[in-house]
Amino acid sequence: MISRNIDIEKAAERISKNIISTELIESQQINEKFGIRVFVKPECKQKTGSFKYRGAYNFISKLYDKYNNKLNVVCFSSGNHGQAVAAVAKKFNIKATVIVPDTAPDYKILNIRKYDPAIIIHKGSRESMEKRAHDLAKSNGSILVKPFDNEEIIAGQGTIGAEICKDMEKKNLKPDAILVPCSGGGLAAGIALGVKKVYPNTIIHPVEPEYYDDTRKSLIKGKIISNSMKYHSICDALLVPKPGLITFEINKILLDQGFVVSDKEVIEAMKIGLNNFKLILEPGGAVGLAVLLKKQLNRFYKNIVIIASGGNISIENHQQLLKYRKESNKDE
């Protein structure tokens, strides 16, 4: 039983007029190719280019009402969460500080700068970056906006699940399964809570990059398992050491088997996103589509929903990855 107070309906009321309700899209060609009906939820078209805007808006707007404009925020992020926090903070005219790792893509840092926050480039581990954010918030009285391990953040992401339910109801279909990109687990937890309220038998599969499948391993073991963080992956948005305490408390109850995808599969999925759905997806946003390439899902499901969680990648980098994959195919 989940005891957390995560109110997705209230979150939807709070953020609905300030987000993009991304409608499900599908491709007849993909449906025929994989023998399954595939619906994509294009959160890459959300404000700031990822689903993160939902959680950030829900968290900050609620705090804004509470603190009556006397509010500063700080966050740590590899890019997408930082951009969302900076954008929402600017909308509410409050000061934001974003701490990003020195390994963050230049494109994402440039996007964060558009909203005029204070930016701190951090050298060191993810854990040390998180500690730096905690220490900064404590020293200057700011509110720390966590990227996933917070009830209001999870509730904001859960509005995606509520929208999926409404869209599927309009189509008179039930989603058999939903594939969710997963790092710390906030998106998966929110969607699971939102969807299972309407469709309790829908299976929620977290999807993670190769070597960074901490949620999959944690679900198997029934306890939090950490990644080594020493391997390379192109999925920069999904590289965290371990699931959150709150998110795992939810996900160990509501999630099913996790999937792991390789960089090679992710690049192929980015190609599918572009050619079949007209979507520019960053690697982390394409991992759900990458599961299609395993050609296993049609044995179990008729209707699936895939979350395309983000599209924050430069056109140059996107083209470079697709070109690299094309050239690699020639050598194989």
Q: Which residues are tagged catalytic? A: 52, 78
Residue 177 structure tokens = 């399964």
Distance, CA of 325 to chain centre: 24
DSSP string for 43-110: GGGSGGGBTHHHHHHHHHHHHHHHHTT--EEEEE-SSHHHHHHHHHHHHTT-EEEEEEETTS-HHHHH
Q: Which amino acid is at 324?
A: Y
Cβ atoms of residues 132 and 165 within 8 Å: no
**Residue in the block written with tokens 């969460």:** 81
Residues constituting the chain: 332
What three-state secondary structure class fits 41?
strand
SS3 313: coil
Q: Calculate the alpha carbon distances from 126 to 104, 155, 200 in Å.
A: 12, 24, 35
Q: Which residues pair with residue 205 across a beta bridge?
A: 179
The secondary structure element, H or E, covering residue 302 is: none
DSSP notation for 106-168: HHHHHHHHTT--EEEEE-S-HHHHHHHHHHHHHHHTPEE--SSSSHHHHHHHHHHHHHHHHHH
| Contact (Cβ atoms closer than 8 angstroms) between residue 180 and residue 187 | yes
CA dihedral (60, 62, 63, 69) in degrees, to 10, reads 90
CB 85 within 8 A of CB 73: yes
